[in-house]
A and B are shown apart, each in its own frame.
Chain A
Amino acid sequence: MSSLPTDASAVIVDVVMPQMGVSVAEGLLVAWHKQVGDWVLADETICEISTDKIDTEVPAPASGRVVELLVEQEQTVPVGSVLARIATDAVAGDPHPDEQGPVISRVTPSGPPPAPQRPSPVVRRIAEREGIDLARVTGTGRGGRVRKQDVLAYLQDRERADGPAPGESAAPPAPLHIESPYRDEPLGQPLSRMRRTIAEHMVRSLHTAAHCTSIMEVDMSAVEAARAGRGLTGLAFVARATIDALQAHPELNATLEDGVLTRHADANLGIAVSLGEEGLIVPVIANAQELSVQGLAERIRELAVRARAGELRPDEVSGGTFTITNPGSFGTLASTPIINQPQVAILDLEAVVKRAVVVTDDQGDSIAIRPMTNLCLSWDHRALDGALAAQFLATLRMRLQDWRSA
């Protein structure tokens, strides 16, 4: 039969075949109720036995872990034979919870568990959001545990040391929400530094420029065909076509500041990169006109990776002359983007969706399924007029619809 290794210091109690009447000399082991390794409480049934007179259960003589079973089921052994061995202390493994018996307490469980040196969910979340190294925070909880108030105090000190964001006064402390929650008010959070910067730029742009948005529908069949063979995104093709259109219409590759309009010879193309909930950043591809579709695709990919890793240098996010934003990757069909000041236009690339469209060719009109998208151009009516915006879009459309690998 099986057995467990036991510590030499373990106290072993034997379970023996009981004497069940003077005339009984042996008994049959009918079934084990416990296996090696099981915990058994004193007086709990450990096995069933049978003699020629009666069937009965054998109670455990002591509480402990079953370390050895010496008799097989259906085996007959003499009275007094050792059936099993129980280790009552110094055994490997955890104590059995039943050993402690039920505890009556109004507090369930009695007292919080010992504080682990692990941040609680709320502390971890605040630290991650605010980029705090918790090792630098002084914990005042049990055993030096960092509590929520500790990380909040650290954050407050840090913000005080940093001073308010440029052009911003420090955010007022969030008001204590005390009203009854059945009004269903969500919990307020002050904007992050990045969101505050985005907010300030966006509002300033809306207040500064005379925004108009023109939308043009484009058949992307040619681009899709070219793209499929090369594993590139549609964005790289649109970027390349945009650069071509900007060279044809330099009025849009311009900046307008303090009443001075400057046209730029180089196309420094900004590409909006989403950083998820955190916000958005626009790295700039300087001299983008020098790059092929392949080169643009690689540059966009590399900038996006570095943007998300927070590794962009300051000169890589400034000096743009035109910006492309690409929310269509999430399925939108039309948007009215806000111009990235001091530029005069921004192009928004929308989802490419298969549609039934009317196609005219030598055979006349027919309905075809084509991958279509909308190009949405927001432009500054101070710097240019609608006709020019439309011409730019028309050039862009032609370039995309008649795409031939350059």
Chain B
Amino acid sequence: MPELTYLQAISEGLREEMRCDERVFVMGEDVGEFGGAFKVTDGMLQEFGERRVMDTPLAESAIIGAAVGAAVVGLRPVCEMQFADFVACGFDQLVNVAGKMHYRQGLAVPLTVRLPSGGGFSGGPFHSQNPEAWFMHAPGLKVLAPSTAEDAKGLLIAAIRDPNPVCFFEHKHLYRRIKGEVPAGAYETPMTARVARPGTDLVVIAYGAMVWTALEATEDLDGASIEVLDLRSLVPLDTAAILDSVARCSKVVVVDEANATCAAGAQVAAFIAQHAFEHLDGPVMRVGTPDVPIAFSPPLERALLPQVSDIAEVCRELLAY
């Protein structure tokens, strides 16, 4: 199997789906001639033409709004938000129009919104956020957040084929840092969790870039057997996988790169408290970013985002509990 970066895998997934399904088209800021801010759509204008690779004005509301209309009449739009942070301008179209269309009108909205998210590269407060939970809270939307190249390609294809609006969070910090073997051709990755590393003493539940931070933090914690569960999909949330891990490990650390309050991990922790209480051998611990904007300054940013040492420390404390 060829080894691709996370970014190349997303690009390949999109390209393959455009090749095999004429209804798939791309809209976004600078996605055409420029090939996208991160070059995900590089070369696509040349291959698919300007009717299927459309540069748009700097108006996320217009991008998503137009895409909802296209999706309702049977096309499969893939919108690129240049940065996930900018989706706030298109919030109403996504949350109130796309998310509620099926409930109100019985119409499918096979829309994919690609959201380059996450920090770790001194992007500052408008280019580093992890707004997954905004959309988890909005009924009618699916929310995906892959951590590996293979899953990024498979989940993007699954998102495009899904009849529901899907928010696809691709972590910018993984774009060129993460490489992996990626199957050729079009395939769908299930919207379920993945055991990134099996273990028995404690489970760290994470998604996106934090999966890698968690793996590194728990690689060798005084010989403890530590499981890392990669959620991959936040909506739907794979509660069976969570229960399974908690039942085996009995100690849980939930990690978010997002601001901690009401983050995806808060939902996971609440679910565990209610449904896996009888399996717990200690408090459900959370590691997350404090409720402040992400700083530009590299040392300040490091102080905010969960680091390997933070996760390791919490795991050690909980193991000793």
Name the residue of chain B whose CB is nearest to the CB of A180.
B195
The verdict on A104 contacting chain B, using a C-beta distance below 8 Å, is yes
Q: Does B37 contact A (CB under 8 A)?
A: no
Complex interface: chain B residues within 8 A of A178 (CB): 195, 198
A176 within 8 A of B: yes
- Asked if B306 and A106 sit within 8 Å, CB to CB, the answer is yes
> Which listed segment binds B: A20-28, A141-149, A199-207, A384-392?
A141-149
Give Cα A113 to B198, complex, Å. Answer: 27
B193 interface residue (CB < 8 Å to A)? yes
The answer on a CB contact under 8 Å between B321 and A142 is yes
State the majority secondary structure of interface residues on A: loop
Residues of A within 8 A of B251 (CB): 148
**Contact residues of B between 76 and 131, Cβ < 8 Å to A:** none
Chain B residues, Cβ within 8 Å of A176? 198, 200
Most buried by A among B282, B314, B317: B282
From A52-60, A114-122, A290-298, the one touching the partner chain is A114-122
Chain B residues, CB < 8 A from A108: 260, 286-288
Complex contact A123–B193 (CB within 8 A):
no
* Any B CB within 8 A of the CB of A105: yes
- Given A180-B241, A181-B238, decide whether A105 and B192 contact each other with a Cβ distance below 8 A: no
**Could you tell me the distance between the alpha carbons of A104 and B292 in the complex, rounded to whole angstroms?**
9
Interface size class of B (residues with CB under 8 A): 35 or more
Binds A, one of B2-10, B134-142, B273-281: B273-281
Task: Give A7-30 interface residues, CB cut-off 8 Å to B.
Answer: none
A149 to B287, CA, bound (A): 24
Most chain A CB atoms below 10 A, which of B190, B198, B244, B279: B244
Contact between A177 and B317 (Cβ–Cβ < 8 Å)? no
Distance, CA A176 to CA B198, complexed state (A): 9
**A106 near B198 (CB under 8 angstroms)?**
no
Shortest distance from the beta carbon of B119 to any chain A beta carbon, whole Å: 13
Q: Which of B187-232 contact A (CB under 8 A)?
A: 190, 192-195, 198, 200-201
- The answer to the question of B248 belonging to the interface, with a C-beta cut-off of 8 Å to chain A, is yes
Nearest neighbor of B192 in chain A, beta-carbon distance? A182
Q: Could you say which residues of chain B place their CB within 8 Å of the CB of A142?
A: 320-321
B33 to chain A, nearest CB (A): 41
Which listed residue (A106, A111, A115, A181) contacts B193, Cβ 8 A? A181
Report how many residues on chain A are interfacial, defined by Cβ distance under 8 Å.
Answer: 30
Does A98 interact with chain B (Cβ within 8 Å)? no
Within 8 A of A (CB), among B273-321: 277-283, 285-292, 304-306, 310, 313-314, 317-318, 320-321
Contact of A187 among B193, B244, B318 (CB under 8 A): B244
Q: A121 touching B244 by the CB < 8 A rule?
A: no
Q: Which residues of B contact A258 (CB under 8 A)?
A: none
- Give residues of chain A (147-189) contacting chain B, Cβ–Cβ below 8 Å: 147-149, 176-182, 184-185, 187
Contact in complex: A106, B290 (CB < 8 Å): yes
| Complex contact A105–B290 (CB within 8 A) | yes
Q: How far is the CB of A259 from chain B (nearest CB, A)?
A: 49
The answer to whether B244 touches A177, judged by C-beta atoms less than 8 angstroms apart, is yes
30 examples of A-B residue contacts, CB within 8 angstroms: A105-B290, A106-B288, A106-B306, A106-B310, A107-B286, A107-B287, A107-B310, A107-B313, A112-B285, A112-B321, A115-B321, A120-B281, A121-B277, A121-B279, A121-B280, A121-B281, A122-B279, A125-B278, A142-B320, A145-B321, A147-B281, A148-B281, A149-B201, A176-B198, A177-B244, A180-B194, A181-B244, A182-B190, A182-B193, A182-B238
B164 on the A face (CB < 8 A): no
A180 to B320, CA, bound (A): 27
Chain A min CB distance to B283 (Å) = 5
B281 and A106 contact, CB distance less than 8 A:
no
A104: B residues at CB distance < 8 A? 290-292
- Give chain A residues whose Cβ lies under 8 Å from the Cβ of B317: 111-112
CA distance A109 to B190 in the complex (A): 33
Closest B residue to A177 by CB, please name it: B248
Point out which of B194, B201, B279 has the most chain A C-beta atoms below 10 A from its C-beta: B279
Q: A106-B287, A181-B240, A182-B190 are contacts. A112–B195 as well, Cβ < 8 Å?
A: no
Instruction: Establish whether residues B306 and A122, one from each chain, have CB atoms under 8 Å apart when the complex forms.
Output: no
Flag whether B247 is at the interface (Cβ < 8 A): yes
Residues of A within 8 A of B318 (CB): 112
How near does chain B come to A173, taking the closest CB pair, in angstroms? 12
Hey, which chain B residues are within 8 Å of A177, CB to CB? 244, 248
Which residues of B sit under 8 angstroms from A184, Cβ to Cβ?
240
Q: In the assembled complex, which residues on chain B have CB atoms less than 8 Å from the CB atom of A120?
A: 250, 280-282
A184 to B310, CA, bound (A): 32
On whether the beta carbons of A181 and B281 are closer than 8 Å, the reply is no
CB < 8 Å: which of B241, B280, B285, B305 contacts A181? B241
